[in-house]
Structure 1
Amino acid sequence: MPLWTEWWVWMSGALILATLEVLLPGYIFLGFALGAGVMGLLILFGISAKGLALTLVIFSVLSLISYLVMRKVFGLRSGQVKVWETDVND
């Protein structure tokens, strides 16, 4: 049985990516961590894809959806403008 069909591999990847997000914040690794976590849950409940390519496509779509949801929840609110008080060169 290939390793990418095991739920614990995806959950371990999600944990590693979430740890990277804590060490290097910026909501970059968190989207991938959520995608890997959901993929692990899908495999745990018996929903799996045939082949590595389709599995990676599903993981990519799940990561994109989680990133877009996080951007909607944590992003700038409408009408909110980021104001820079200092110059980088000061």
Structure 2
Amino acid sequence: MPLWTEWWVWMSGALILATLEVLIPGYIFLGFAIGAAMMGLLILFGISASGFALTLVIFSVLSLISYLVMRKYFALKTGQVKIWETDVND
């Protein structure tokens, strides 16, 4: 059985990507980590693609959806500007 069909490989990848997100913040790797975790859960529950290319497409779509949801959830409101009232040295 190929390695990319194992659920734990996707979960390990998600853990590595989430660790990268902690080290290099910016919500870039977090979308891929969530996509990999969802792909691992799909495979764990028996829903898997028939080929490697289709598996990568599903992972890409899941990552894109999670990135867009995070962008909507964590983004500043339109026209909103972050204003600092105090200085860190005060």
- Fold match (TM-score > 0.5): yes
What corresponds to 1:28 in structure 2?
Answer: 28
1:66 and 1:19 mapped to 2: Cα distance? 17
| Aligned partner letter, 2:16 | I
| Aligned partner letter, 2:27 | Y
What corresponds to 2:55 in structure 1?
Answer: 55
Overall identity of the aligned pairs, in %: 87
Question: What is the CA-CA distance between 1:82 and the residue it aligns to?
Answer: 5.4
1:57 and 1:81 mapped to 2: Cα distance? 36
CA RMSD of superposed structures (Å)? 1.1
Which blocks of at least 5 consecutive residues in structure 1 are unaligned?
Answer: 84-90
Q: TM-score, normalised by structure 2?
A: 0.89
Which blocks of at least 5 consecutive residues in structure 2 are unaligned?
Answer: 84-90
Question: What is the CA-CA distance between 1:76 and the residue it aligns to?
Answer: 1.4
Per mean C-alpha deviation after superposition, the further-off stretch among 70-79 and 57-66 is: 70-79
SS in 1 for 2:66: helix
